[in-house]
Structure 1
Protein backbone atom coordinates (compact mmCIF):
# COMPACT_ATOMS: atom_id res chain seq x y z
CA UNK A 1 0.00 0.00 0.00
CA UNK A 2 1.03 3.61 -0.52
CA UNK A 3 1.51 6.11 2.29
CA UNK A 4 1.03 9.75 1.30
CA UNK A 5 2.04 12.78 3.38
CA UNK A 6 0.34 16.15 2.89
CA UNK A 7 1.33 19.54 4.27
CA UNK A 8 -1.68 21.70 5.19
CA UNK A 9 -1.80 25.53 5.08
CA UNK A 10 -1.28 25.79 8.85
CA UNK A 11 2.02 23.92 8.54
CA UNK A 12 0.74 20.65 10.00
CA UNK A 13 1.08 17.38 8.10
CA UNK A 14 -1.33 14.52 7.53
CA UNK A 15 -0.19 11.01 6.71
CA UNK A 16 -2.66 8.86 4.77
CA UNK A 17 -2.36 5.10 4.34
CA UNK A 18 -4.01 4.57 0.95
CA UNK A 19 -6.33 1.56 0.81
CA UNK A 20 -8.24 2.28 -2.41
CA UNK A 21 -7.98 4.61 -5.40
CA UNK A 22 -10.89 5.43 -7.70
CA UNK A 23 -10.45 7.35 -10.95
CA UNK A 24 -13.49 9.19 -12.25
CA UNK A 25 -13.93 9.38 -15.99
CA UNK A 26 -16.20 11.27 -18.37
CA UNK A 27 -16.87 13.52 -15.39
CA UNK A 28 -17.62 16.86 -17.00
CA UNK A 29 -20.48 18.74 -15.39
CA UNK A 30 -22.15 19.06 -18.81
CA UNK A 31 -22.99 15.48 -19.69
CA UNK A 32 -24.04 16.65 -23.18
CA UNK A 33 -20.44 17.69 -23.78
CA UNK A 34 -19.32 14.37 -22.32
CA UNK A 35 -21.52 12.48 -24.81
CA UNK A 36 -19.91 14.41 -27.66
CA UNK A 37 -16.47 13.56 -26.28
CA UNK A 38 -17.37 9.86 -26.07
CA UNK A 39 -18.36 9.97 -29.74
CA UNK A 40 -15.06 11.63 -30.67
CA UNK A 41 -13.08 8.99 -28.79
CA UNK A 42 -15.06 6.20 -30.45
CA UNK A 43 -13.82 7.47 -33.82
CA UNK A 44 -10.26 7.03 -32.48
CA UNK A 45 -11.00 3.47 -31.40
CA UNK A 46 -11.36 4.16 -27.66
CA UNK A 47 -14.27 2.08 -26.29
CA UNK A 48 -16.97 4.14 -24.61
CA UNK A 49 -18.21 3.51 -21.07
CA UNK A 50 -21.48 1.74 -20.33
CA UNK A 51 -22.58 4.76 -18.28
CA UNK A 52 -21.32 8.26 -17.62
CA UNK A 53 -19.81 9.42 -15.41
CA UNK A 54 -17.63 6.35 -14.97
CA UNK A 55 -15.54 5.21 -12.02
CA UNK A 56 -12.45 3.03 -12.42
CA UNK A 57 -10.78 1.25 -9.47
CA UNK A 58 -7.00 1.59 -9.56
CA UNK A 59 -4.39 -0.34 -7.59
CA UNK A 60 -3.61 1.63 -4.39
CA UNK A 61 0.16 1.53 -4.96
CA UNK A 62 -0.36 3.73 -8.04
CA UNK A 63 -1.16 6.74 -5.81
CA UNK A 64 2.28 8.34 -5.65
CA UNK A 65 4.04 11.55 -4.67
CA UNK A 66 6.95 11.41 -7.06
CA UNK A 67 9.00 13.60 -9.37
CA UNK A 68 9.65 10.85 -11.92
CA UNK A 69 7.38 8.51 -13.89
CA UNK A 70 8.80 5.55 -15.81
CA UNK A 71 6.99 5.08 -19.14
CA UNK A 72 6.78 1.85 -21.13
CA UNK A 73 6.80 3.69 -24.47
CA UNK A 74 6.38 7.14 -26.00
CA UNK A 75 2.59 7.33 -25.99
CA UNK A 76 1.77 8.00 -22.35
CA UNK A 77 0.56 11.30 -20.96
CA UNK A 78 -0.95 12.97 -17.92
CA UNK A 79 -4.28 14.63 -17.16
CA UNK A 80 -4.78 17.58 -14.80
CA UNK A 81 -7.22 16.65 -12.04
CA UNK A 82 -8.15 17.35 -8.45
CA UNK A 83 -8.02 14.60 -5.84
CA UNK A 84 -10.25 14.03 -2.84
CA UNK A 85 -8.42 12.25 -0.01
CA UNK A 86 -10.11 10.78 3.05
CA UNK A 87 -7.68 11.18 5.94
CA UNK A 88 -7.33 8.69 8.77
CA UNK A 89 -9.78 10.59 10.98
CA UNK A 90 -12.31 10.95 8.15
CA UNK A 91 -11.44 14.57 7.35
CA UNK A 92 -11.63 15.36 3.62
CA UNK A 93 -8.61 16.88 1.89
CA UNK A 94 -8.35 18.41 -1.58
CA UNK A 95 -5.16 18.42 -3.63
CA UNK A 96 -3.81 18.50 -7.19
CA UNK A 97 -3.27 15.31 -9.15
CA UNK A 98 -2.10 14.10 -12.55
CA UNK A 99 -3.46 10.83 -13.91
CA UNK A 100 -0.67 9.40 -16.09
CA UNK A 101 -2.31 7.20 -18.72
CA UNK A 102 -1.13 4.72 -21.35
CA UNK A 103 -2.80 5.99 -24.54
CA UNK A 104 -1.94 2.90 -26.60
CA UNK A 105 -3.59 0.67 -24.01
CA UNK A 106 -6.57 3.03 -23.75
CA UNK A 107 -7.96 1.83 -27.09
CA UNK A 108 -8.25 -1.67 -25.61
CA UNK A 109 -9.80 -0.58 -22.32
CA UNK A 110 -9.83 2.63 -20.29
CA UNK A 111 -9.73 0.73 -16.99
CA UNK A 112 -6.60 -1.12 -18.14
CA UNK A 113 -4.90 2.11 -19.22
CA UNK A 114 -5.57 3.72 -15.83
CA UNK A 115 -3.79 0.83 -14.12
CA UNK A 116 -0.72 1.12 -16.36
CA UNK A 117 0.56 4.40 -14.90
CA UNK A 118 0.56 6.26 -11.58
CA UNK A 119 -1.78 8.89 -10.21
CA UNK A 120 0.73 11.53 -9.12
CA UNK A 121 -0.48 13.66 -6.21
CA UNK A 122 0.89 16.94 -4.86
CA UNK A 123 2.60 17.10 -1.48
CA UNK A 124 0.33 19.90 -0.20
CA UNK A 125 -3.41 19.84 0.40
CA UNK A 126 -6.26 22.01 1.61
CA UNK A 127 -9.00 20.98 3.99
CA UNK A 128 -12.05 20.66 1.76
CA UNK A 129 -14.13 22.56 4.33
CA UNK A 130 -11.83 25.59 3.98
CA UNK A 131 -12.45 26.01 0.22
CA UNK A 132 -15.87 24.40 -0.16
CA UNK A 133 -17.74 27.71 -0.52
CA UNK A 134 -15.71 28.71 -3.61
CA UNK A 135 -14.83 25.41 -5.25
CA UNK A 136 -16.13 26.44 -8.68
CA UNK A 137 -13.71 29.38 -8.70
CA UNK A 138 -10.62 27.22 -8.18
CA UNK A 139 -8.49 26.97 -11.30
CA UNK A 140 -6.83 23.89 -12.76
CA UNK A 141 -3.92 24.14 -15.21
CA UNK A 142 -1.35 21.80 -16.71
CA UNK A 143 1.85 22.27 -18.68
CA UNK A 144 3.86 19.81 -20.75
CA UNK A 145 7.61 20.13 -21.15
CA UNK A 146 9.52 19.39 -24.35
CA UNK A 147 13.27 19.90 -24.25
CA UNK A 148 12.97 22.04 -21.14
CA UNK A 149 10.31 24.37 -22.59
CA UNK A 150 6.90 24.34 -20.84
CA UNK A 151 3.68 24.75 -22.84
CA UNK A 152 0.22 25.23 -21.35
CA UNK A 153 -1.96 22.28 -22.37
CA UNK A 154 -4.95 22.45 -19.98
CA UNK A 155 -6.68 25.40 -18.36
CA UNK A 156 -10.06 25.66 -16.69
CA UNK A 157 -11.94 25.81 -13.41
CA UNK A 158 -13.49 23.21 -11.16
CA UNK A 159 -16.89 24.41 -12.41
CA UNK A 160 -16.24 22.32 -15.54
CA UNK A 161 -16.15 19.08 -13.55
CA UNK A 162 -18.61 17.27 -11.33
CA UNK A 163 -18.20 18.72 -7.86
CA UNK A 164 -16.58 16.93 -4.91
CA UNK A 165 -20.04 16.85 -3.28
CA UNK A 166 -21.30 14.65 -6.13
CA UNK A 167 -18.52 12.13 -5.61
CA UNK A 168 -18.83 12.26 -1.83
CA UNK A 169 -22.45 11.13 -2.23
CA UNK A 170 -21.35 8.36 -4.61
CA UNK A 171 -18.67 7.16 -2.21
CA UNK A 172 -21.04 7.27 0.74
CA UNK A 173 -23.68 5.25 -1.15
CA UNK A 174 -21.05 2.59 -1.97
CA UNK A 175 -19.70 2.49 1.57
CA UNK A 176 -16.39 3.85 0.27
CA UNK A 177 -16.20 7.19 2.10
CA UNK A 178 -13.66 5.64 4.43
CA UNK A 179 -10.13 6.55 5.59
CA UNK A 180 -7.52 5.82 2.96
CA UNK A 181 -9.79 6.39 -0.03
CA UNK A 182 -8.45 8.59 -2.83
CA UNK A 183 -10.77 9.77 -5.61
CA UNK A 184 -9.33 11.38 -8.74
CA UNK A 185 -11.76 13.78 -10.42
CA UNK A 186 -11.51 13.26 -14.15
CA UNK A 187 -10.05 15.95 -16.35
CA UNK A 188 -10.72 19.04 -18.44
CA UNK A 189 -10.08 19.38 -22.21
CA UNK A 190 -6.59 19.58 -23.65
CA UNK A 191 -5.61 22.44 -25.93
CA UNK A 192 -5.62 21.37 -29.59
CA UNK A 193 -2.28 21.20 -31.32
CA UNK A 194 -0.19 20.71 -28.17
CA UNK A 195 1.86 17.49 -28.05
CA UNK A 196 0.77 15.64 -24.91
CA UNK A 197 3.51 13.01 -25.24
CA UNK A 198 6.04 15.05 -23.31
CA UNK A 199 9.14 14.57 -21.19
CA UNK A 200 7.52 16.34 -18.25
CA UNK A 201 4.12 17.26 -16.79
CA UNK A 202 3.14 19.96 -14.28
CA UNK A 203 -0.27 20.57 -12.68
CA UNK A 204 -1.48 23.51 -10.59
CA UNK A 205 -4.66 23.81 -8.50
CA UNK A 206 -5.04 27.46 -7.49
CA UNK A 207 -7.36 29.52 -5.29
CA UNK A 208 -7.80 33.04 -6.74
CA UNK A 209 -9.39 34.24 -3.50
CA UNK A 210 -6.22 33.69 -1.48
CA UNK A 211 -3.52 33.48 -4.15
CA UNK A 212 -2.50 30.08 -2.80
CA UNK A 213 -1.70 27.27 -5.22
CA UNK A 214 -0.93 23.58 -4.93
CA UNK A 215 1.33 22.19 -7.61
CA UNK A 216 3.17 19.08 -8.70
CA UNK A 217 5.72 18.33 -11.37
CA UNK A 218 7.34 15.16 -12.67
CA UNK A 219 9.66 14.03 -15.45
CA UNK A 220 8.66 11.21 -17.79
CA UNK A 221 11.52 8.79 -18.36
CA UNK A 222 11.51 5.83 -20.78
CA UNK A 223 12.05 2.41 -19.30
CA UNK A 224 15.09 0.43 -20.49
CA UNK A 225 14.52 -1.83 -23.48
CA UNK A 226 13.36 -5.32 -22.47
CA UNK A 227 15.40 -8.45 -23.03
CA UNK A 228 13.55 -11.38 -24.53
Structure 2
Protein backbone atom coordinates (compact mmCIF):
# COMPACT_ATOMS: atom_id res chain seq x y z
CA UNK A 1 0.00 0.00 0.00
CA UNK A 2 1.53 3.31 -1.06
CA UNK A 3 1.28 6.29 1.29
CA UNK A 4 2.64 9.79 0.73
CA UNK A 5 4.05 12.05 3.42
CA UNK A 6 5.52 15.51 3.69
CA UNK A 7 8.65 15.02 5.76
CA UNK A 8 9.50 17.05 8.86
CA UNK A 9 6.73 19.59 8.15
CA UNK A 10 8.39 20.69 4.89
CA UNK A 11 5.74 20.86 2.17
CA UNK A 12 8.32 20.44 -0.60
CA UNK A 13 10.02 17.39 0.98
CA UNK A 14 7.76 14.52 -0.03
CA UNK A 15 8.29 10.77 0.29
CA UNK A 16 6.37 7.82 -1.12
CA UNK A 17 6.25 4.84 1.23
CA UNK A 18 5.22 1.33 0.23
CA UNK A 19 3.76 -0.42 3.31
CA UNK A 20 3.75 -4.22 3.05
CA UNK A 21 3.20 -5.16 6.70
CA UNK A 22 0.76 -3.44 9.09
CA UNK A 23 0.54 -4.21 12.80
CA UNK A 24 -1.95 -2.78 15.26
CA UNK A 25 -0.36 -2.85 18.72
CA UNK A 26 -2.92 -3.12 21.50
CA UNK A 27 -2.82 -2.77 25.28
CA UNK A 28 0.40 -0.76 25.10
CA UNK A 29 0.14 1.35 28.25
CA UNK A 30 3.07 1.50 30.66
CA UNK A 31 0.74 1.92 33.63
CA UNK A 32 -1.15 -1.28 34.37
CA UNK A 33 -3.92 0.69 36.09
CA UNK A 34 -4.43 2.73 32.92
CA UNK A 35 -4.48 -0.46 30.84
CA UNK A 36 -7.14 -1.94 33.09
CA UNK A 37 -9.15 1.27 32.77
CA UNK A 38 -9.16 0.94 28.99
CA UNK A 39 -9.99 -2.77 29.27
CA UNK A 40 -12.90 -1.80 31.53
CA UNK A 41 -14.10 0.72 28.93
CA UNK A 42 -14.22 -2.03 26.35
CA UNK A 43 -15.70 -4.60 28.76
CA UNK A 44 -18.58 -2.18 29.25
CA UNK A 45 -19.18 -2.62 25.52
CA UNK A 46 -18.99 -6.40 25.81
CA UNK A 47 -15.37 -6.87 24.70
CA UNK A 48 -13.50 -9.72 26.39
CA UNK A 49 -10.23 -9.08 28.20
CA UNK A 50 -7.04 -9.65 26.14
CA UNK A 51 -5.04 -12.84 26.54
CA UNK A 52 -1.81 -10.86 27.04
CA UNK A 53 -0.46 -7.32 27.00
CA UNK A 54 0.71 -6.01 24.67
CA UNK A 55 -0.92 -7.83 21.76
CA UNK A 56 -0.10 -7.43 18.07
CA UNK A 57 -2.82 -7.70 15.41
CA UNK A 58 -1.90 -8.10 11.74
CA UNK A 59 -4.16 -6.05 9.49
CA UNK A 60 -4.30 -5.89 5.69
CA UNK A 61 -2.27 -2.96 4.40
CA UNK A 62 -5.05 -1.99 1.99
CA UNK A 63 -6.97 -0.78 5.05
CA UNK A 64 -4.65 2.23 5.28
CA UNK A 65 -6.06 5.44 3.82
CA UNK A 66 -5.04 9.09 3.72
CA UNK A 67 -8.41 10.26 2.47
CA UNK A 68 -10.59 12.53 4.57
CA UNK A 69 -13.67 10.37 4.12
CA UNK A 70 -14.10 6.69 4.90
CA UNK A 71 -17.10 4.38 4.61
CA UNK A 72 -18.23 2.16 7.48
CA UNK A 73 -21.00 -0.41 7.91
CA UNK A 74 -23.52 0.55 10.59
CA UNK A 75 -23.36 3.18 13.30
CA UNK A 76 -21.16 1.48 15.89
CA UNK A 77 -17.69 2.54 14.79
CA UNK A 78 -15.32 5.01 16.41
CA UNK A 79 -11.79 6.33 16.01
CA UNK A 80 -8.74 6.14 18.26
CA UNK A 81 -5.75 8.43 17.76
CA UNK A 82 -2.42 6.55 17.81
CA UNK A 83 1.23 7.21 16.97
CA UNK A 84 2.01 5.52 13.66
CA UNK A 85 5.59 4.43 12.95
CA UNK A 86 7.01 3.00 9.75
CA UNK A 87 10.31 2.10 8.15
CA UNK A 88 11.52 3.70 4.94
CA UNK A 89 14.97 3.36 3.37
CA UNK A 90 16.47 2.05 6.58
CA UNK A 91 15.05 4.82 8.75
CA UNK A 92 12.19 4.89 11.27
CA UNK A 93 9.53 7.57 10.90
CA UNK A 94 6.58 8.65 13.02
CA UNK A 95 3.18 9.89 11.88
CA UNK A 96 -0.39 9.68 13.17
CA UNK A 97 -3.25 7.24 12.52
CA UNK A 98 -6.70 6.37 13.78
CA UNK A 99 -7.42 2.76 14.69
CA UNK A 100 -11.03 3.13 13.56
CA UNK A 101 -12.89 0.12 14.94
CA UNK A 102 -16.31 -1.51 14.74
CA UNK A 103 -17.30 -1.68 18.41
CA UNK A 104 -20.18 -4.10 17.89
CA UNK A 105 -17.97 -6.58 16.02
CA UNK A 106 -15.30 -6.09 18.69
CA UNK A 107 -17.55 -7.87 21.20
CA UNK A 108 -17.32 -10.95 18.96
CA UNK A 109 -13.67 -10.71 17.86
CA UNK A 110 -11.14 -7.92 18.42
CA UNK A 111 -9.01 -9.21 15.53
CA UNK A 112 -11.94 -9.05 13.08
CA UNK A 113 -12.98 -5.62 14.33
CA UNK A 114 -9.46 -4.34 13.62
CA UNK A 115 -9.62 -5.72 10.09
CA UNK A 116 -13.07 -4.47 9.09
CA UNK A 117 -12.48 -0.69 9.27
CA UNK A 118 -10.22 1.58 7.24
CA UNK A 119 -7.34 3.14 9.23
CA UNK A 120 -6.98 6.86 8.42
CA UNK A 121 -3.39 8.14 8.31
CA UNK A 122 -2.07 11.73 8.36
CA UNK A 123 -0.08 13.26 5.50
CA UNK A 124 2.91 14.39 7.57
CA UNK A 125 5.76 12.39 9.08
CA UNK A 126 8.82 13.12 11.22
CA UNK A 127 12.11 11.30 11.30
CA UNK A 128 12.14 9.35 14.54
CA UNK A 129 15.64 10.59 15.29
CA UNK A 130 14.23 14.13 15.55
CA UNK A 131 11.83 13.23 18.39
CA UNK A 132 13.23 10.09 20.05
CA UNK A 133 15.03 11.98 22.84
CA UNK A 134 11.83 13.73 23.97
CA UNK A 135 9.30 11.09 22.84
CA UNK A 136 7.56 11.00 26.23
CA UNK A 137 6.76 14.74 26.00
CA UNK A 138 4.89 14.47 22.69
CA UNK A 139 1.17 15.15 23.15
CA UNK A 140 -1.61 13.09 21.57
CA UNK A 141 -5.04 14.69 21.21
CA UNK A 142 -8.31 13.81 19.52
CA UNK A 143 -11.70 15.47 19.17
CA UNK A 144 -15.10 14.24 18.00
CA UNK A 145 -17.98 16.31 16.71
CA UNK A 146 -21.07 15.96 18.89
CA UNK A 147 -24.24 17.97 18.31
CA UNK A 148 -22.33 20.26 15.96
CA UNK A 149 -19.51 21.04 18.41
CA UNK A 150 -15.96 19.72 18.64
CA UNK A 151 -15.47 17.89 21.95
CA UNK A 152 -12.10 16.83 23.37
CA UNK A 153 -12.07 13.03 23.23
CA UNK A 154 -8.48 12.01 24.05
CA UNK A 155 -5.51 13.89 25.49
CA UNK A 156 -2.20 12.98 27.11
CA UNK A 157 1.53 12.65 26.63
CA UNK A 158 3.13 9.59 25.13
CA UNK A 159 4.77 8.76 28.46
CA UNK A 160 1.55 6.81 29.09
CA UNK A 161 2.39 4.37 26.29
CA UNK A 162 5.25 1.98 25.62
CA UNK A 163 7.78 3.41 23.20
CA UNK A 164 7.81 2.25 19.58
CA UNK A 165 11.26 0.77 20.17
CA UNK A 166 9.88 -1.43 22.96
CA UNK A 167 6.87 -2.49 20.89
CA UNK A 168 8.92 -3.27 17.80
CA UNK A 169 11.38 -5.29 19.85
CA UNK A 170 8.51 -7.29 21.36
CA UNK A 171 6.88 -7.86 18.00
CA UNK A 172 10.04 -8.78 16.08
CA UNK A 173 11.25 -11.15 18.84
CA UNK A 174 14.88 -10.97 17.83
CA UNK A 175 14.36 -10.56 14.08
CA UNK A 176 15.97 -7.51 12.43
CA UNK A 177 13.86 -4.43 11.76
CA UNK A 178 13.00 -4.38 8.03
CA UNK A 179 14.53 -1.44 6.15
CA UNK A 180 11.26 -0.76 4.33
CA UNK A 181 7.56 -1.40 4.53
CA UNK A 182 6.83 -2.20 8.18
CA UNK A 183 4.20 -0.03 9.86
CA UNK A 184 2.77 -0.15 13.37
CA UNK A 185 0.19 1.80 15.32
CA UNK A 186 1.45 2.14 18.88
CA UNK A 187 -1.62 2.21 21.11
CA UNK A 188 -4.03 4.81 22.33
CA UNK A 189 -5.19 6.80 25.36
CA UNK A 190 -8.43 6.46 27.29
CA UNK A 191 -11.47 8.19 25.85
CA UNK A 192 -12.66 11.19 27.84
CA UNK A 193 -16.29 10.46 28.69
CA UNK A 194 -16.10 6.90 27.38
CA UNK A 195 -15.84 5.28 23.95
CA UNK A 196 -18.68 6.33 21.66
CA UNK A 197 -19.42 6.63 17.95
CA UNK A 198 -18.91 9.86 16.03
CA UNK A 199 -19.02 10.60 12.32
CA UNK A 200 -16.24 13.23 12.46
CA UNK A 201 -12.86 12.72 14.09
CA UNK A 202 -9.92 15.10 14.40
CA UNK A 203 -6.51 14.21 15.85
CA UNK A 204 -3.10 15.75 16.48
CA UNK A 205 0.38 14.73 17.57
CA UNK A 206 2.04 17.80 19.06
CA UNK A 207 5.75 18.43 19.58
CA UNK A 208 5.90 21.52 21.78
CA UNK A 209 9.68 21.37 22.02
CA UNK A 210 10.10 21.82 18.26
CA UNK A 211 6.91 23.85 17.82
CA UNK A 212 5.26 21.59 15.25
CA UNK A 213 2.43 19.09 14.95
CA UNK A 214 0.98 16.36 12.77
CA UNK A 215 -2.78 16.61 12.25
CA UNK A 216 -5.55 14.80 10.42
CA UNK A 217 -9.32 15.17 10.15
CA UNK A 218 -11.74 12.71 8.61
CA UNK A 219 -15.41 11.85 8.52
CA UNK A 220 -17.13 8.50 8.23
CA UNK A 221 -20.11 7.77 6.03
CA UNK A 222 -22.42 5.07 7.31
CA UNK A 223 -23.44 2.32 4.92
CA UNK A 224 -26.67 0.42 5.68
CA UNK A 225 -26.63 -3.01 7.27
CA UNK A 226 -28.51 -5.31 4.90
CA UNK A 227 -29.75 -8.56 6.45
Same fold (TM over 0.5): yes
CA distance in 1, matches of 2:126, 2:171: 20
Q: 2:192 is paired with a residue of what secondary structure?
A: coil
CA positional deviation for 1:177: 2.5
Matching residue of 1:3: 2
Matching residue of 2:13: 12
Matching residue of 1:139: 139
The answer (yes or no) to whether the contact 2:87–2:183 under 8 Å persists in 1 is yes
Indicate whether 1:126 and 2:139 are aligned.
no
* Worse-superposed segment, 77-86 or 163-172: 163-172
TM-score by length of 2: 0.92
Matching residue of 2:74: 73
Q: Which runs of 5+ in 2 are unaligned?
A: none
The answer (yes or no) to whether the contact 2:146–2:198 under 8 Å persists in 1 is yes
Matching residue of 2:55: 54
CA distance in 1, matches of 2:141, 2:170: 26
Q: 2:42 is paired with a residue of what secondary structure?
A: helix
CA distance in 2, matches of 1:64, 1:45: 28
Q: Deviations over 1:62-115 (max 9, x none)?
A: 11111011110111000010001111x121110111110000000011111000
Q: Deviations over 1:144-180 (max 9, x none)?
A: 0135421110000110111111023224426372211
The answer (yes or no) to whether the contact 1:154–1:191 under 8 Å persists in 2 is yes
TM-score by length of 1: 0.91
Matching residue of 1:166: 166
CA distance in 2, matches of 1:92, 1:153: 28
CA distance in 1, matches of 2:18, 2:137: 30
In 2 relative to 1, CA 114–174 (structure 1 residues): closer, same or farther, beyond 3 Å?
A: farther
Matching residue of 1:115: 115
CA positional deviation for 1:60: 0.8
Q: 1:61 is paired with a residue of what secondary structure?
A: helix
CA distance in 1, matches of 2:172, 2:76: 36
CA distance in 2, matches of 1:40, 1:112: 19
CA distance in 1, matches of 2:24, 2:176: 13
- Superposed CA RMSD in Å reads 1.8
State how many pairs are aligned: 224
Q: Which runs of 5+ in 1 are unaligned?
A: none
The answer (yes or no) to whether the contact 1:144–1:196 under 8 Å persists in 2 is no
